[in-house]
C-alpha cells in the first residue's frame, strides 16, 4: 500500500484548498457549488444540463436544486433546446453575467495569493502529477 502517503497528501491538499477558498466564495454571498456553476457558465454560450454537469464538479442531483435556486435569483435562465426539445439550454442572465464578471476575477485573485508562492516548474510538476493520477483512475 505504497500509495497511502500520496492519498493522504492529496486529501489534505484538497481540504486545505477548501478551507482557503470556501470562505472567500461565501463572503461573495454564494455557495461553492453556485460559484462553480456561475464560473462555468460565464462568458460561454448556453449549454445543456448534461454539458454543465460534465464541466462542473456538481452531481446531477445537486445540480438540479442549485439551478432552481440560481434561476429564482435571476442569475440564470433555462430555455428549450432548439435542437432537442427534450433538453434545456442553461445560460447566465445579464444579472448573472455581471455577477460572474465581479466574483470570478476576485476569486482568482484570492487564489493567486497562494499559487504565486509556487514557481513555474513546481506548478508544471503538480499539474502533470495530478493529470497522471486522473488518467490512472479513468483507465
Which CATH number is correct for 22-138, 1.10.10.10, 1.25.40.390, 1.10.600.10, 1.25.40.10? 1.10.10.10
In three-state secondary structure terms, 92 is strand
pLDDT tens digits along 40-86: 999 999 999 889 999 997 888 899 999 999 999 999 999 998 888 88
What local confidence, expressed as pLDDT, does residue 75 receive?
98
DSSP output for 16-66: HHHHHHHHHHHHTT--HHHHHHHHHHTTS--EEHHHHHHHSS--HHHHHHH
- Does this model's pTM top 0.85? My answer is yes
Q: Would you list the domain boundaries of the chain?
A: 22-138
- By percentage, how much of the chain surpasses pLDDT 70? 100
Amino acid at each position: 500500500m505504497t500509495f497511502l502517503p500520496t492519498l493522504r497528501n492529496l486529501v489534505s491538499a484538497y481540504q486545505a484548498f477548501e478551507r482557503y477558498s470556501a470562505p472567500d466564495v461565501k463572503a461573495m454571498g454564494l455557495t461553492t457549488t453556485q460559484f462553480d456553476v456561475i464560473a462555468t457558465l460565464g462568458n460561454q454560450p448556453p449549454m445543456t444540463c448534461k454539458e454543465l454537469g460534465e464541466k462542473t464538479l456538481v452531481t446531477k442531483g445537486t445540480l438540479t436544486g442549485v439551478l432552481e435556486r440560481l434561476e429564482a435569483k435571476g442569475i440564470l435562465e433555462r430555455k428549450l433546446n432548439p435542437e432537442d426539445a427534450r433538453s434545456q439550454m442553461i445560460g447566465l442572465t445579464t444579472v448573472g453575467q455581471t455577477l460572474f464578471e465581479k466574483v470570478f476575477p476576485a476569486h482568482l485573485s484570492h487564489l493567486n495569493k497562494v499559487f504565486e508562492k509556487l514557481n513555474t516548474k513546481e506548478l508544471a510538476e503538480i499539474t502533470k502529477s495530478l493529470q497522471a493520477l486522473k488518467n490512472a483512475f479513468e483507465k
